[in-house]
Amino acid sequence: MSSMIFQRHPRYAILVFVLLAGTVWLLYSEGGHAGQSGPRDLSVTARVERAETIYQRTLKGRETLIKKFGPTPNQIAMFPPDENPWPPYTAWDFFPPAFNCPHERERVGTLGDGGKWVCGLSQVENKPDCVVYSFGINGESSFEAEILARTNHCQIWGYDFSVNSFGPEIAVADRHRTHFHAYGLAGKDNHGPDSDIKYYTLQSLMAMNGHDHIDILKIDVESWEFEVVTAFVEPFLRSGKPLPFGQLQIELHTWEKKFPDILEWWQKLEQAGLRPFFQEPNLVYNNYNRGRDQDLTEYSFINIRGDTAFVSPPKDE
């Protein structure tokens, strides 16, 4: 029946062909096919640039949301009470993970507590000088173990004063690529002879280890993250130099924090070139508190400035 229609109405057949061809072209050129975040043939640089364009629109949306519920940051509650009039937001609505990872995005490590969301682990699979820092071990190292298992050269430096080593997940064959110290991470050094716990800044630890870059930086330090990240980022903001790490996996503990403080801290990260590409609320904590507290959440950031394995084009691009 359809063949008869095409024979009797060739113009109709041509029109159908043109529409189908146009649809296929749009799917492949605009990333409309399933599982794609953009054009298949876009360079890494182009994917990052397009993701940044989208992210900048999100920043305008944040301004609009603040004016709607504020209208100033000082008037924004982190987690409004369930009262009338009921404001339909939480603090996390102002900080969506709106940046598209330019590579594969996956959870590395165990499902549940311990795993982290990473952008483009494949980009450091064979990197000869791959460096990973992990702050906050707490006896569980599935994240670090999977990085070691899936890369050929990555070395991991772990720090946690509450335990004596990495967790048991790390295979014996990979332990030669791990380095553990029972140190704490802080905004200022404090490691004198009278100190029960030795605290170091991230700058000091990098200098001690002879590192000028970190590919993947994981921080889970029970609310100290605001102080330590600020202390590390601010000198780079003053100098205009890019941050020396490729991406950041961090858990935020916003206990007793006010929205203007979180906003100011977050904007420093953005100014330094960090862009959130994933968020995962700590649902275990939320469940234990019967849904009353939502002030713990995981974020993953990618650094869009500088020469890193995750945003710099490969040599053959």
DSSP state of 190: B
- Number of domains forming the structure of the chain: 2
Residue 313 lies in a domain: no
Residue 192 lies in a domain: yes
Residue 310 lies in a domain: no
Left (φ > 0), alpha (ψ -120 to 50) or beta: where does 210 sit? Answer: left
d(CA 60, CA 89) in angstroms, rounded, equals: 17
Q: What is the pTM of this model?
A: 0.84
Residue 312 lies in a domain: no
Q: How far, CA to CA in Å, does 173 sit from each of 121, 158, 169, 177, 270?
A: 20, 17, 12, 9, 39
Residue 123 lies in a domain: yes
In a shared domain, residues 54 and 114: yes
CB 110 within 8 A of CB 284: no
In a shared domain, residues 34 and 50: no
Tokens of 181: 């110290």
Residue 131 lies in a domain: yes
Residue 144 lies in a domain: yes
In a shared domain, residues 22 and 93: no
3-state SS, 90-159, equals CHHHHCCCCCCCCCCEEEECCCCCCCEEEECHHHHCCCCCCEEEEECCCCCCHHHHHHHHHCCCCEEEEE
Range of the domain at 7: 1-41
Per-residue pLDDT of the chain (317 residues), as tens digits, is: 445 444 555 554 444 444 455 544 444 444 433 344 444 558 999 999 999 999 999 999 999 999 999 999 999 999 888 766 677 889 999 999 999 999 999 999 998 888 999 999 999 999 999 999 999 998 899 999 999 999 999 999 999 999 999 999 999 999 999 999 999 999 999 988 888 899 999 999 999 999 999 999 999 998 899 999 999 999 999 999 999 999 999 999 998 899 999 999 999 999 999 999 999 987 666 666 655 567 889 999 999 999 999 999 876 55
Last residue of a domain, one of 26, 41, 56: 41
State the CATH number of the domain containing residue 191. 3.40.50
